[in-house]
């Protein structure tokens, strides 16, 4: 490890957080966000929804169980949510050099070094998180030398969903029923959830015409960035709504569905990124604990009259899901597949599949 190398996180307001470098030594910029999950860093940092972001982990002990191997399940990496680390950089409090786990194949430092991802440890992540909660998610940059000529850059001005998408169509053949999955930065375990249910998944790159696949259902995936920039996909989704093909939107996909229906979205102050977000099913007293990773939300007050709010967040009352009152269109702002986190809401996949039959 680069034990003696210093690195600094500089925020757009001029504040600085110094620490020691681990992983790959280089300078990067991005949007600085935090995640309050206690475990699951291999799945978290490979989640494409973090594309373009510098991630702060609030749990103080990171790296203690190493990094698992790259075994495959259904042609996908079993232990990761994509084929590579997606975060631009990683900020933590305490890095555990010694790791112990029966499935560990390398250290977090070795993995980040291999994939050229910089990290800083020894940072007061509690103080940093408090700042982000008060001021909101901020632009930042990791600099590894006194020469600091890197500019702040807002990744949300780019079409990140297209950047995080697959390059060409991929078919995961299973059962007779097939869904068209529009890849805006899909997590592997969303695909696995359908394959385990004997559903064929046609993974479509962002921007391609998914209706020509004549699917039994459409899944709008999670992904990074501002949903309003996904103009092409919003228009395609409007057509799918007209054809009344069953649609499930997850995270960014739920926001895309809402925009296609005529609602509006907005940017949250600091987002929801954790494995223990409580959501309430509207009209019931049922609360589910969910895994979440999003910086934007649906303005439920702008939903058309044929749509209703399905779930709300019990912490801040923001929208966590929508549904059409009589057509098979559903949106979940959280992650039913979890990975990491609780799988309390995996029934949403089954609800969607029943709508296809």
pLDDT tens column, 109-138? 999 999 999 999 999 999 999 999 999 999
Confidence of residue 35 (pLDDT cuts 50, 70, 90): very high
Confidence of residue 147 (pLDDT cuts 50, 70, 90): low
Q: Residue 82: pLDDT above 70?
A: yes
Q: Residue 310: pLDDT above 60?
A: yes
Residue 113: what are its φ and ψ, rounded to 5°? -65, -45
Which DSSP string do the residues of 139-202 spell out, in sequence order? EEEEE-SS---PPP--GGGS-HHHHTS-SS-EEE--SS-EEEEEESS--HHHHHHHHTTT-EEE
Confidence of residue 231 (pLDDT cuts 50, 70, 90): very high
| Residues 6 or more apart in contact with residue 217 via CB below 8 angstroms | 177, 179, 180, 245, 246, 247, 248, 352, 353, 355, 356
Task: Specify the pLDDT at position 126.
Answer: 97
Q: Residue 149: pLDDT above 80?
A: no
Rg (Cα) of the chain, in Å, rounded?
A: 20
Mean local confidence (pLDDT), 274-292: 97
CA angle 171, 173, 179 (to 5 degrees): 70
Task: Specify the pLDDT at position 3.
Answer: 56
Percent of the chain with pLDDT over 90: 96
Q: Residue 148: pLDDT above 80?
A: no
The conformational region for residue 293 under phi > 0 = left, psi -120 to 50 = alpha, else beta, is beta
Which DSSP string do the residues of 170-181 spell out, in sequence order? EEE--SS-EEEE
| Residues 6 or more apart in contact with residue 317 via CB below 8 angstroms | none
CA-nearest of 246, 274, 7, 223 to 118 is 7
Q: Are 293 and 259 in contact (CB under 8 A)?
A: no
Q: Are 283 and 270 in contact (CB under 8 A)?
A: no
Task: Specify the pLDDT at position 1.
Answer: 61
Task: Specify the pLDDT at position 144.
Answer: 83
Distances (CA, A) of 207 to 12, 16, 223, 230, 240: 33, 39, 14, 9, 14
Report the alpha-carbon distance of residue 42 to residue 206 in Å, rounded: 25
Q: Residue 243: pLDDT above 90?
A: yes
| Residues 6 or more apart in contact with residue 283 via CB below 8 angstroms | none
What's the mean pLDDT when you consider all of the chain?
A: 96
| Residues 6 or more apart in contact with residue 214 via CB below 8 angstroms | none
Confidence of residue 100 (pLDDT cuts 50, 70, 90): very high
Task: Specify the pLDDT at position 159.
Answer: 98
Please give the span between the terminal C-alpha atoms of the chain, in angstroms, as a whole number.
54
Report the alpha-carbon distance of residue 45 to residue 111 in Å, rounded: 11
| Residue, of 130 and 149, whose pLDDT is higher | 130
Confidence of residue 357 (pLDDT cuts 50, 70, 90): confident
Residue 126: what are its φ and ψ, rounded to 5°? -65, -45
Q: Residue 142: pLDDT above 70?
A: yes
Joined tokens for residue 28: 């990067």
Task: Specify the pLDDT at position 95.
Answer: 97
Catalytic residues: 251, 335, 337
Half-sphere exposure of 114 (CA within 13 A, CB side): 9
Report the alpha-carbon distance of residue 351 to residue 95 in Å, rounded: 42
Q: Residue 2: pLDDT above 60?
A: no
Q: Distance of alpha carbon 35 from its chain centroid, rounded?
A: 11
Q: Residue 316: pLDDT above 90?
A: yes
Q: Are 155 and 32 in contact (CB under 8 A)?
A: no
Model confidence pLDDT, tens digit, residues 170-186: 999 999 999 999 999 99
Q: Residue 146: pLDDT above 80?
A: no
Confidence of residue 33 (pLDDT cuts 50, 70, 90): very high
Q: Which domains does the chain have, with CATH numbers?
A: 6-157 (3.50.30.20), 160-356 (3.40.50.880)
Report the alpha-carbon distance of residue 101 to residue 281 in Å, rounded: 37
Model confidence pLDDT, tens digit, residues 201-221: 999 999 999 999 999 999 999
Q: Residue 50: pLDDT above 60?
A: yes
Mean local confidence (pLDDT), 305-330: 98
């Amino acid at each position: 490890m680069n034990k003696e190398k210093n690195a600094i996180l500089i925020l757009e307001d001029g504040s600085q957080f110094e620490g020691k470098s681990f992983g790959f030594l280089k300078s990067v910029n991005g949007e600085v966000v935090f995640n309050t999950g206690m475990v699951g860093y291999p799945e978290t940092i490979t989640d494409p929804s973090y594309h373009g972001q510098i991630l702060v982990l609030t749990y103080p002990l990171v790296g203690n169980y190493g990094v698992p191997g790259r075994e495959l399940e259904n042609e996908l990496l079993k232990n990761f949510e994509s084929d590579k680390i997606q975060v631009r950089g990683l900020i933590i409090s305490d890095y555990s050099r010694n790791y112990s786990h029966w499935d560990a194949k390398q250290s977090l430092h070795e993995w980040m070094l291999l994939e050229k991802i910089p990290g800083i440890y020894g940072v007061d992540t509690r103080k940093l998180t408090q700042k982000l909660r008060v001021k909101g998610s901020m632009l930042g940059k990791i600099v590894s030398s006194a020469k600091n000529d890197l500019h702040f850059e807002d990744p949300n001005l780019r079409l990140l969903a297209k950047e995080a998408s697959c390059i060409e169509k991929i078919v995961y053949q299973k059962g007779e029923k097939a869904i068209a999955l529009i890849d805006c930065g899909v997590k592997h375990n969303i695909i696995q959830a359908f394959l385990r249910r004997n559903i064929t998944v046609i993974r479509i790159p962002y921007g391609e015409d998914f209706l020509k696949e004549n699917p039994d259902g459409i899944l709008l995936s999670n992904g990074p960035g501002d949903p309003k920039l996904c103009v092409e996909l919003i228009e395609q989704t409007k057509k799918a709504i007209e054809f009344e093909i069953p649609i499930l939107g997850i995270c960014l996909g739920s926001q895309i569905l809402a925009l296609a229906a005529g609602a509006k979205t907005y940017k949250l102050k600091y987002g929801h990124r954790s494995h223990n977000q409580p959501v309430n099913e509207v009209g019931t007293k049922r609360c589910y604990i969910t895994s979440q990773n999003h910086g934007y939300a649906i303005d439920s007050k702008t939903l058309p009259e044929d749509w209703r709010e399905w779930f709300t967040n019990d912490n801040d009352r923001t929208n966590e899901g929508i549904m059409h009152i009589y057509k098979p269109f559903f949106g979940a702002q959280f992650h039913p597949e979890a990975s990491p986190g609780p799988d309390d809401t995996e029934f949403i996949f089954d609800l969607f599949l029943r709508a296809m039959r």
